[in-house]
Chain A
């Protein structure tokens, strides 16, 4: 009893501040829903959530820049449940940055007051009740606390050092996302289907993870990653129970990352979820999940490398190939970006599975820049709406046919989107290129020629479908028969999305043209992690 309370008291609460701020604001947000008058809820929620994420980011940044706190990893409790080492802080910063931009996109709405979310989630799609809710101008403002809960989980996830904390963080970040996916304003059935699919598959993945934890505990009697690492170090040869456990844990994490063969939820969820949520989830979940995956893999590398590397290679290659090949035939822009996200997971994995500091440097850089560009890209998609013949604004225009000639109708948005596509394609002078080059160079350098060559070939194929969108936007004539739902056109909003897109664009270009300082930064981090 006393030792538990000692541990509680000795906790370095200051170091936990970012997580506490975000989760605290989330709880406060729930109270806002209960007590603040309906008219004032939306502005209060927006300000609260933006402030929380900014504050969390600033506190993390201050700690990351403080040499005393940066130099050594600090465990927050004697049980080593959470460790705030530089890599954790870096990933938390990346999550905060992407979440902030994501929140801006989520909070934005068109000048007609049309946001991305359904006015009343409980209403049956197409029902009288839904219609009334829309006419009454209801707004589903509990989106913001949900986003904050998810962000809090994402901040914990890469810092967790024992399997149970990791599982709790996984659920804290996942549950709100399942819900958020089902809240789209338009095409609600699609959205609800996505939500259900995400929930069922996500729950299965969580079960895999938990089951894996049990196996690992059975094999080692440990739950902390450090303890497991020490235990595995004492075994000579392969311990099958441990190996099964580690593989099951990896399955759970690879699901969150969106790696093949655990990717099947990605296209449907990315397509069905409200676009701002897609952007937020695509960027932040990937960062957080890769953080956790890195933790698990690197704590067991010394002994299990030879056992799990072949499996990881296979997953990385499959992920790159399936993501690009299936991406080529997509006709919906959100689905296409979903497959592209799968392919990118493969590229990032390529850096991770080299188990070198060069590879990790590349992967960390890649995660950060990919996250920002993803939020920006989905931000643009959120702005492209259908306009029918009478000029009425409708839902988002996501079919590629509706994007034909967008370069003429909305030249600025189309150009910005083209730059995001170029960075996804890994064209030089964009941040996407630097990340790709770093991970492929690490793969070649480590003798992983197969990974590197497959990666190069997949990049080429992927470049094809990114360029196709550019060609459609700028060079395709008007379609012979009018696109279903009308052509897409850039819509005027209150301006928050534009802010997010601009920041993402600047980051993409700056980190593409002068990446040296940032690579130094991720390089330092990786040296501390790679054994």
Chain B
């Protein structure tokens, strides 16, 4: 079954679904939401079947490599390794949950159909971007994803959605433009030929000069840092998350932002190993600043969606820290963290969505206090999912966060120790939020607030279950991630002596 075009099917199926839901009127439109949910569950099932065919430790698999525009070295080249597989499965899992959670959000059938179509279109892009092995195709998808997200925020969000959507678009386009310069430079300065954009051909490629490599690396890294988002280019995320529907935010933060960190580990490190080592000290410093910046600002928020967005900035700091520590433990931790963060933050956004729907406000101080009396199940799930963001042992996030810090400690003791303080802040912002909403003497108007419904339980249930399973038995995930991480790090390790040599040259020159 390795020859079956799994990835193309997984890309095409959501796209077809989006077109059908969007264009076909009549009964299809009336039941658009149900059709979309059923279709996305089916696609997830296909994804799971594909995962059973995946050979752990078998390198890039399900390869589809066809010539597209030979003059520019562009190929339709798809393949995934363990990292791509886990992120694709995460995307496929989150889409049906988001659609299920959004049931009550849109009132008219036509708006429901549009929302479902946009989410399905986004799903298609998400699978494709994690599977792309051609820099050019990756770039096109990286930019194309903006379109459905722009409309998801701009057409379906709450107050201030237009502005937030525009801010999101401008930030992303600016990053994309810088990356485009890098993409063109990869073609003209790289190996060229009919496979000039294939990441294989560019892995470990010897660039003409260190300066050139660094410039191209920066072009890519800036785009990824905006997407991730890292301090100081993170400011679009809180606005977008606050204005968007929580379901949109789940996909935006849970999956889309991972494209940034995925790009760092799948493109930047293999293609520009020397430049990555060169830039690592600054990037690690920025990552640690992100951890604290996000955490402190999360503490100060009253809007629940904004708070979750800032916690994500903090978490992305950990992910980047793990990647640029260049240790096996740290990088596996980071890649595992990407999945766990999708589960945990996705869960938080979904629960926040339920809370907002029940209480009619995004302000945490207006939701509670004392909501736990009337909605004990909701309070319980919020606490569990919230604690996963704190990385409580027993939940999968603990494994990954611990690995990131342990990995960072091997090479950057000081930064690792400092970053551990971020965990304390995480406990603070989650527990304070829980306290504000759920504990204390109940407000008068809480009577009649419904507890978690059957449907809502089904939305968050799978996420909590997965976090528990992966928390107690992370071995399958870590095995899947180990080999691609090792491959990437071996490229970086090969480049490290060269960087050291260059730096000592610089020092000597400076000394003279």
- The chain A residues found within 8 Å of chain B, CB to CB, are 361, 428-429, 434, 437-438, 440-441, 444-445, 452-453, 456-457, 460, 463, 475, 514-516, 519-520, 523
Q: Contact mask B63-84 → A, CB, 8 Å, 1/0? A: 0000111111000000000000
Contact B185 A444 (CB under 8 A): yes
A-contact bits for B181-221, CB 8 A (1 contact / 0 none): 10011011100000000000000000000000000000000
15 contacting pairs across A/B (C-beta < 8 A): A428-B140, A437-B184, A441-B187, A445-B188, A452-B184, A456-B177, A456-B184, A457-B177, A460-B173, A463-B173, A514-B69, A515-B71, A516-B67, A519-B69, A519-B71
A460 to B176, CA, bound (A): 10
A453 touches B181 (CB 8 A): yes
Q: What residues on A are CB-neighbors of B187 within 8 Å?
A: 441
Q: A444-B188, A445-B188 are in contact. Are A456 and B71 (CB under 8 A)?
A: no
B173 close to A516 (CB less than 8 A): no
Closest 7 CB pairs of A and B: A445-B188, A519-B71, A428-B140, A444-B188, A460-B177, A516-B69, A444-B184
Contact A520 B71 (CB under 8 A): yes
A496 to chain B minimum Cβ distance, whole angstroms, is: 28
Q: Which residues of B contact A523 (CB under 8 A)?
A: 71
Which residues of the other chain, A, contact B189 by a CB distance below 8 angstroms?
444
CB distance from A222 to the nearest CB of B (A): 37
- Alpha-carbon distance A440/B181, docked complex (angstroms): 9
Closest residue of chain A to B143, judged by CB? A428
A475 to B169, CA, bound (A): 16
| CB contact between B72 and one of A437, A460, A520 (< 8 Å): that residue | A437
Q: With the chains together, A434 CA to B173 CA distance in Å?
A: 19
B206 → chain A closest CB, angstroms: 18
Task: State A456–B188 Cα separation when bound (angstroms).
Answer: 15
Cα of A181 to Cα of B268 in the assembled complex, Å: 54
Contacts of A438 in B (CB 8 A): 71-72
Name the B residues within 8 Å of A516 (CB-CB): 67-71
Chain A residues lying within 8 Å of B185, measured Cβ to Cβ, are 444
**A441-B72, A441-B187, A516-B69 known; A456 and B144 CB under 8 Å?**
no
Chain B residues in 8 Å Cβ range of A515: 69, 71
**B180 interface contact, C-beta 8 A:** yes
Which A residues lie within 8 Å of B188 (CB)? 441, 444-445
Q: Which of B68, B181, B188 has the most CB of A within 10 A?
A: B188
Give the docked Cα–Cα distance between A196 and B144 (Å). Answer: 45
A431 to chain B, nearest CB (A): 12
Chain A residues, Cβ within 8 Å of B154: 475
Please name all residues of chain B whose beta carbon is closer than 8 Å to the beta carbon of A519 when the two chains form the complex. 69, 71
Q: Give the CA-CA distance A440 to B72 in the complex, in Å.
A: 12
- Compute how far the CA of A452 lies from the CA of B67 in the bound complex, rounded to whole angstroms: 26
* A441: B residues at CB distance < 8 A: 72, 184, 187-188
Contact B184 A440 (CB under 8 A): yes
Are A428 and B184 closer than 8 Å at their CB atoms? no
When chains A and B are docked, how far (Å) is the Cα of A456 from the Cα of B189?
17
Nearest to B178 among chain A residues (CB) is A456
Q: Kindly provide the distance from the CB of A136 to the nearest chain B CB, expressed in whole angstroms.
A: 48
B67 surroundings in chain A (CB, below 8 A): 516
A438 to chain B, nearest CB (A): 7
**Residue with the highest number of chain A CB atoms closer than 10 Å, among B143, B154, B181:** B181
New A-B contacts (7) at CB < 8 Å, excluding given A428-B143, A438-B71, A516-B69: A429-B140, A437-B72, A444-B184, A444-B188, A456-B177, A514-B69, A516-B67
A198 to B91, CA, bound (A): 58
From A361, A437, A514, residue with most partner B Cβ within 10 Å: A437
List of B residues within 8 angstroms of A475 by Cβ: 154
Chain B residue nearest to A433 (CB atoms) is: B140
A457 contacts which chain B residues (CB < 8 A)?
A: 177
A297 to chain B, nearest CB (A): 22
Asked if A456 and B68 make an inter-chain contact with CB atoms under 8 angstroms apart, the answer reads no
Contacts of B177 in A (CB 8 A): 456-457, 460
CB–CB A456/B181 < 8 A: yes
CB distance from A524 to the nearest CB of B (A): 11
Q: Are A434 and B69 in touch, CB under 8 angstroms?
A: yes
- A456 to B183: give the CA distance in the assembly, Å: 12
Query: What are the residues of chain A within 8 A of B180 when measuring CB–CB?
Result: 456
- How far, in angstroms, from A475 to B187 measured CA to CA in the complex? 37
Using Cβ atoms and an 8 Å threshold, which residues of chain B touch A429?
140
A519's closest neighbor in chain B, by CB? B71
Residues of B contacting A437 in the complex (Cβ-Cβ under 8 angstroms): 72, 184
Complex Cα distance, B182 from A440, in Å, reads 12
B residues near A445, Cβ cutoff 8 Å: 188
* Cα of A428 to Cα of B139 in the assembled complex, Å: 10
**8 Å CB contacts to A: which residues of B137-152?**
140, 143-144
